[in-house]
Chain A
Amino acid sequence: MNSNQNPPSPNQNKSLVDEALIEGHEYDGIKELDNPLPAWWLFTFLITIIFSFLYWIHYDLTATGPSTSAELEMELSQLQALHSAATSKEPSVDLQSLVKNSKALEVGQGVFAARCAVCHGAKAEGQIGPNLTDRFWIHGKGTPEDILQVVSKGVLEKGMPSWESMLSATEIQSVSVYVFTLKNSNPPNAKAPDGTEIKE
């Protein structure tokens, strides 16, 4: 047993009690010392008060600091700049040639199963969303370019979400050409046609 574990000697106790027991302060046996405020504690308190005051002057009183709206706009425009720089570098893709690219169709099929099937059905026969395998189209004429437009921007008033923030450019292109190849696949339980018939 080392000395740390021994109970403090009566002397130590005495010195604690002698520190500054306050006269007359005794409540149900509880006495009070009058130790000074710890310096580091007081310093911390003062620092937070001074910082808070300066912060308030900067962001509120003089408004030399940006408002939350200004900050947001700044950050969004930086992201926008990143986005336009990245998209301008992307080569333009010929969707017609992708239609015969089996790799692209495979990617497109994966995206369709993960994202589109819940509403359009596993075989694109139509459920919550319309049947994508018939000759009837609600938006555009069913060309790969038209489909890509709907997939990217969505048709918000009809409940078709915009996928451009959720999917990469390649994924959108692939799924658009994949959907294009489903035409006349005649899946079972197909939903009734909707939109305008497009004759080839």
Chain B
Amino acid sequence: MTQSHSLAEVYDDKIVRSFVLATLFWGLIAFIVGLLAALQLAYWPFNFNLEWLTYGRIRPLHTNAAIFAFAGNAIFAGIYYSTQRLLKTRMFSDLLSSLHFWGWQILIVSAAVTLLLGFSMGKEYAELEWPLDIFITLIWVIFAVNFFGTLSRRKEKHMYVAIWFYIATIITVAVLHIVNSIEIPVSTFKSYPVWSGIQDALVQWWYGHNAVAFFLTTPFLGLMYYFIPKAADRPVYSYRLSIIHFWALVFLYIWAGPHHLLYTALPDWAQTLGMIFSLMLWAPSWGGMINGLLTLRGAWHKVRTEPILKFLVTAVTFYGMSTFEGPLLSIKSVSALAHYTDWIIAHVHGGTLGWNGFLTFGMIYYLVPRLWNTQLHSKKLAEWHFWIGLLGIIIYYISMWAAGITQGLMWRAVDDKGKLVYPDFIETVTRIVPLYWVRALGGALFIAGFLLMIYNIWKTLRKAPQTRKEEIVPQQVPLKTQTHPETSHRKLEGLVTVFTVLVVLAVLAGSIIEIYPTLSLHNYIDPLKRTQPYSPLEIAGRDVYISEGCYVCHSQMIRKLPEDVLRFGPASTIEESFYDHPFQWGSKRTGPDLARVGGKYPALWHYRHMMNPRDLIPQSIMPNYPWLEQKKVDFYVLRKKFSVLKRLGVPYDENTVANADKIAEEQAKTIAAELKNGGAPAGLEDKEIVALIAYLQALGKKGGTP
């Protein structure tokens, strides 16, 4: 800090600079890991036969890094910058800001390490194990205290719309994360969620969809409301629209989760709610897009010459596309075609690359010269970044649309004899592999553009002055003339606590109405169709399945659709996943559904298939899992696992819990002997492969079917 600053309070832009640099760093990592995952689908040897680099572990790393590391740091950068200026005060506590920053970076590193080592909850975008879940909560509380503390010392009486969105983000992410992560530890990096079956499915997708809503949408809308009017130097189009679309979004979004579970075993009423609330979200989402785009009226000529505005405008346009596509995909008959296919991957990347990515890039190009008191090194390079990145997104989007719709149509094609036209799942995979190459090209272009940005910013920082002039916080805010009496919403904008309570009520309404009825699962269970819980060895195998991330490519949910039933057997029932902590229904079928794979093939088939899938299915794109015949099962920990599962309500008797290890060892010997008879190596009885085979052979074989 220079001499002049010691007299007047300045904004804390050091923390913003740190978050900006972290965004660039983690963005690069997240994108490169994404490209690796894309290449693995196009050409399986990119799995390198290494357990840490197989798709099942890389994909969770990619999603977590993109959402929480890249988008997360971007959000924090934008929030710390704009909040101080909108409230005309420095952040509440420099210590908390610093703890927030470093805590978040440590979290990201720990997440990356544990995910690659195979520590996973098996729940999408919530894969991190319990110690990290607690750590996330801690850092989020630090962020919240710092943010609300800043609000409490604000000099502006009223909160601007961006601040409303930040409040909704902080509150709702906390609620979502805590409820979805209630779990009981077994060991340092292993726990079981208290939720099971449809309960877990509902809670997980309530969380999953609202991670999109309150981590990738509301904070970015807040950023949009700050950076678009600033960059365009135009007033916001409509205050009224801000009010309506803010409250509509906050109230409606929370209900939409079950649209990820259409035609599954989830009760119909919840599916209906998921679909209709998604439809009703269309207009409120577009409210944000309209307010963003129409704010540019009278400034469109600037878009032609200003890369910052190009990025921001395109981001808002992608937001509009994604929020139209989302409700469309939530319509049951559209979901029937698109679910489990790459159409969903297209949809997600339109939102993340287009909306989150481009908004972040626009914001960073705006911030860097201001934060480092200098000029951007090259506007021309930023233009190139824009066009190359945009081309990348378009190629990505179109290739995945084509792949998803092609595969969806192949899955459902039935001939005049009532039989599937493509009964062989692999046929529908080989058909779209060329499109996986095209997608990888799209991703590579997006990264190429991003590398230009990093170079551009590196050059910018190098010429930045050594001593920075920090922006001074005004001593007092000029009095504003207000001749009209305040409307009631205007009054609300001055009352942080009341406003926050109303946001809490808005998000809790839908959450409680949807989740509460499933808390007592027994209402939905037919006592005559009760399932047998998994044996100890099967649980050990299930944990291997979760750890290897099998759920990212294989569903365990045969939907109530003829094409699913013809291909995989009778539709899955609520009872079948009743004891599943966590549920493993999956959300993508890169490989076939496994809900009824039990007994379909002999143990030896599975053994050879896991060692090299291409021995049995020559065109398979699945990785090899050679380490499964090397790594040993920890039999002893099964006692602990079983006592936890028993506490969670799985009906094991005392004997099974006390002797879980011995029971598992017995079953393992039988399977290992069968494998050996078939020509597999001896000594597999204590290896993970045997446990995994036991689990796979149990799928669909535990009762609970009609």
Contact = CB atoms under 8 A, between A and B. Distances in A.
B236 A55 contact: no
B290 A38 contact: yes
Interface residues of A, number: 66
Nearest to A86: B417
Contacts of A129: 602
Interface stretch (A70-78, A100-108, A131-139, A176-184): A70-78
A188 interface: no
Interface residues of B, number: 77
B229 A30 contact: yes
Contacts of B238: 32-37
A59 B604 CA distance: 47
A161 B600 contact: yes
Contacts of B132: none
A198 interface: no
Interface stretch (B60-68, B122-130, B213-221, B419-427): B419-427
Interface string A26-70: 111111111111100110110011011101100110000001110
A49 to B, nearest CB: 6
Nearest to A15: B298
B239 A33 contact: yes
Contacts of B297: 16
Contacts of B277: 52
B86 A35 contact: no
Given A76-B562, A79-B414, A30 B276 contact: no
B674 to A, nearest CB: 11
A7 B608 CA distance: 69
A60 B608 contact: no
B562 A35 contact: no
B301 A5 contact: yes
B683 interface: no
A80 interface: yes
Contacts of B283: 41-42, 44-45, 48
Contacts of B271: 68
Contacts of B272: 55-56, 59-60
B290 A24 contact: no
Given A13-B298, A27-B160, A159-B602, A41 B418 contact: no
Given A24-B482, A71-B560, A72-B571, A59 B424 contact: no
A79 B679 CA distance: 42
Contacts of B617: 118
A37 B275 CA distance: 25
A80 B561 CA distance: 14
Given A87-B417, A128-B602, A166 B424 contact: yes
Given A12-B298, A23-B482, A29 B230 contact: yes
Contacts of A2: none
Interface in B271-312: 271-273, 275-277, 279-280, 282-284, 286-287, 290, 294, 297-298, 301, 304
Contacts of B416: 82, 86
Nearest to A52: B276
A55 B276 contact: yes
Interface string A1-26: 00001111000110011000111111
B420 A128 contact: no
B237 interface: yes
A128 B678 contact: yes
Contact of A52 (B279, B562, B567): B279
A156 interface: yes
B414 to A, nearest CB: 7
A56 to B, nearest CB: 6
A92 interface: no
Interface string B65-107: 0000000000000000010011010000000000000000000
A7 B297 CA distance: 11
A68 B557 CA distance: 15
Contact of B240 (A35, A86, A156): A35
Contact of A128 (B248, B301, B560, B604): B604
B602 A60 contact: no
Nearest to B283: A45
B560 A159 contact: no
A36 B294 CA distance: 12
Contacts of A199: none
Chain A CB within 10 Å — which of B160, B238, B263, B617 has the most? B238
Nearest to B618: A118
B366 interface: no
Q: List the 5 closest A-B pairs by CB distance, nearest first.
A: A159-B602, A45-B283, A52-B276, A82-B418, A83-B418
30 contacts: A6-B301, A8-B301, A16-B298, A17-B235, A21-B235, A24-B481, A28-B82, A30-B235, A33-B235, A33-B238, A35-B240, A45-B280, A52-B276, A55-B276, A59-B268, A60-B272, A67-B268, A68-B271, A72-B561, A72-B565, A75-B562, A76-B565, A79-B562, A82-B418, A83-B418, A86-B417, A118-B616, A128-B678, A157-B599, A161-B600
Interface of B: 82, 85-86, 88, 156, 158, 160, 226, 229-230, 234-242, 244, 248, 263, 268-269, 271-273, 275-277, 279-280, 282-284, 286-287, 290, 294, 297-298, 301, 304, 327, 414, 416-420, 423-424, 480-484, 560-562, 565-567, 571, 599-605, 608, 615-617, 678-679
Interface of A: 5-8, 12-13, 16-17, 21-38, 41-42, 44-45, 48-49, 51-53, 55-56, 59-60, 67-69, 71-72, 75-76, 78-83, 86-87, 118-119, 127-129, 156-159, 161, 165-166
